[in-house]
Chains A and B, each alone.
Chain A
């Protein structure tokens, strides 16, 4: 069945059920995925998938259902399930759908793949890696081409259609000599075209260099308070943890956020500006319609260290009387700093260049504690060797306030744009 026919049928079924208020999205997708193991092709995977999700309202009661059977019977069942869920709920007027956003079609990325060229690019990457980084092993690699067509509608009159496709490439790597092996490292990029060799995308080359230089790490001795320069990938993880802990629905609704009443106030160093920018040209497939049914917008969450808004869904906004953010994506952009990474490193007396963080999910108090992965010791402004069994401890909120510097260099991996971020006051401990 054509997707538009499916959407029309869904409308018909919902209206026949006399449901006056609803929203739904139906999606057809296709994946062609090439899997590498230890540098060689091993698996070609093809996935044809569907998805339908529907939210229905019976008065002020809301219920939702999802499934992948988009036949007429499947849609009927989906609506029945959502209706039954709504009938079981209690009244809550805060559940709602976005007002009319009009109709639009969003075409993004590459809808017709060039799989031969994709395979050649992957082979080229494997060959380049073997030649330039002979101690690095590509344990696994996934080259995926994904395309999709979705239609979302709601009873306020909105209809969005998305048509798109993208390539992505991710690797898990380690390095070794004899029986000596490094830990795992990984990175990922997504792209609209195959114009650039994969080695030059995102920070792939940097990951290969770092892992090749990590074969003989040393355990750190003692404990000290120092500076941690987070690589863009590591910084991104910390930013997500912080946003999740301080400004999203759950912690604002239940009032446990440390930034509950901080909108308009300085919560971070003035060097830090964080936005969600689905329309930034460096983002390959930016969000166009939110999960709540709004048109997506670029949104600045923290501007020069000042918290501009909490990141609330429509429900969270209605529940707390605060504004909803018209962005539910992950298109995160952090503004660059003025100095280079080299200058940042030169400014550090003692600390770490931290490539990854393996730690427990911090509680709402923001306390974090974990292991520095893929990391190097910095002493007297210079990078020393790789470290192992090294722990870092601190507080997310304090870390945001204690930013020593942000690099000019940015990692653009197609999904986010992030610099290196140096943070003071982190407790670093070894054996």
Chain B
């Protein structure tokens, strides 16, 4: 883990500007078994140091692939020069955001490394289980992926601190053939925040999840295409999380609001039914650590929860310090960079639609003719709130009961219209944290949601 060797360089911060100095290390571990073949077996580590300087709304950033006091001096000088140099072209003259307090955010946890042999052995155990138990699969892939971030932040007028974010996952992918010989696939991610030893010392604990995945794949083998059109659906919790992140979350990132997103003219207006409340959690959810806790961001802002929609009313945006000042809001710790070479930009943390009062069974039983959409492979959204999620696992609902499984399809809608159709919300939330959000840089994010009954456009043949 990073040792604090840069704190004394704060004395080089220039007067009259805001400076943040960040030491940052990313490490990855990757093992891929494709039908038992070890096709990837790699480890990587990248560390460096960066500085960002705000001079009246014009920013300079510099980074060097070296974590040392000398590198700290160089990036502070270069970022300051960049901010001043670009200022001659930008014409910006924006007052610096006021300080929201100073202090120290202590180290939150530690990163425990794992040797490659232990990782490979675990993957082989999982792979052998699948191979032995389910020989009828046409293909199987077991992936171990770990990315850990370790950052030390010093700021001129905000908090300083040390934050580490280790996460690791096993992804299991299975393929089978339909009776027509066409392949169908499903995958599942296991794991979460923490290191190998927090999740995978007992590979057999993954087996029930693998069995459930196989059963769903066998259902999908017999699956049917969804009927295209505007349908009543029950979105599963993972889909609810995707909705929170893609369809709403991105539109309320203040840099996209500034660019003209649909959230701009809708602040303090109804954008969802009164059953919908959505929060970007910083580090704690219902008294327990959120999936990927963030205690401090890369501008030195101490992280707090951000209530985005309250009882259906759009109440806030996600901000960095500059946009918070522009919109008269409080910065709550959303400015983050992926690596030492990345400047902080506005990112989500653990974005979640809160649970309601119905049970999942009640939601499904309430639908006469529609679909139960469980898992999503990916999603995208637009400034207008028009969103798309790929649906990899779902079932028909006929007269309140589950019917045939669905082949892959896609759902779409316009977030602030679709959310007004939400008329039942389940009392439990499902979280995921294994994916990446892409927005100039990748970022690890958590997303969560309850089951929701709503109307949505679904694609099909």
Contact = CB atoms under 8 A, between A and B. Distances in A.
Contacts of B232: none
B297 interface: no
Q: What band does the interface of chain A fall in when counting residues whose beta carbon is under 8 Å from B?
A: 35 or more
A181 interface: yes
Contacts of B410: 359-360, 369-371, 391, 393
A392 B64 CA distance: 45
B92 A174 contact: no
Contact of B378 (A51, A255, A360): A360
Contacts of B48: 49, 68
B41 A373 contact: no
Contacts of B343: 43, 45
A429 B384 contact: no
A358 B83 CA distance: 37
B114 to A, nearest CB: 11
Contact of A89 (B38, B141, B407): B38
A119 interface: yes
Interface in B142-184: 175, 182-184
A148 interface: no
B66 interface: yes
Contacts of B229: 223, 429, 431
B215 interface: no
Contacts of A137: 259-260
Contact of A69 (B47, B92, B459): B47
B116 A85 contact: yes
A85 B121 CA distance: 12
A87 B47 contact: no
B288 to A, nearest CB: 32
Interface in A149-174: 172, 174
A69 B71 CA distance: 13
B175 A364 contact: yes
A196 interface: no
B185 A363 contact: yes
Interface in B382-424: 382-384, 386, 388-392, 407-410, 412-414
B138 A84 contact: no
Contacts of A223: 228-229
A244 to B, nearest CB: 14
Interface stretch (A32-40, A201-209, A273-281, A296-304): A32-40
A289 B102 CA distance: 51
A92 B120 CA distance: 14
A256 interface: yes
Given A254-B175, A363-B408, A389-B386, A44 B82 contact: yes
A88 B117 contact: yes
B384 A183 contact: yes
A174 B459 contact: no
A332 B34 CA distance: 27
B258 A389 contact: no
A67 B391 contact: no
B377 A360 contact: yes
A407 interface: no
Interface in B6-63: 34-35, 37-48, 57-63
Given A254-B138, A363-B408, A369-B408, A139 B44 contact: no
A63 B41 CA distance: 6
A317 interface: no
Contacts of B412: 370-371, 389, 391
Contacts of A361: 377-378, 390
B39 A315 contact: yes
B341 interface: yes
Interface in B99-127: 115-117, 119-121
Given A62-B41, A369-B460, A391-B457, 18 more contacts: A42-B59, A45-B60, A45-B61, A69-B45, A88-B116, A181-B383, A182-B383, A183-B383, A255-B139, A256-B138, A360-B376, A361-B390, A363-B183, A363-B185, A364-B175, A364-B183, A369-B409, A369-B410
28 contacts: A42-B86, A44-B61, A44-B82, A45-B82, A46-B82, A48-B65, A64-B40, A65-B43, A67-B44, A68-B46, A81-B43, A84-B117, A87-B117, A89-B38, A174-B260, A183-B386, A253-B37, A315-B39, A359-B390, A360-B388, A363-B408, A364-B185, A365-B184, A367-B407, A369-B410, A371-B386, A391-B457, A392-B459
Interface of A: 34, 37-38, 40-51, 53, 62-69, 81-82, 84-90, 92, 94, 119, 123, 137, 139-140, 142, 172, 174, 176, 179, 181-184, 223, 249-250, 253-256, 258, 315, 319, 358-365, 367, 369-371, 373, 388-389, 391-393, 427, 429, 431
Interface of B: 34-35, 37-48, 57-66, 78-79, 82-83, 85-86, 89-92, 115-117, 119-121, 138-139, 141, 175, 182-185, 228-230, 255-256, 258-262, 264-265, 341, 343, 376-378, 380, 382-384, 386, 388-392, 407-410, 412-414, 440, 457, 459-461
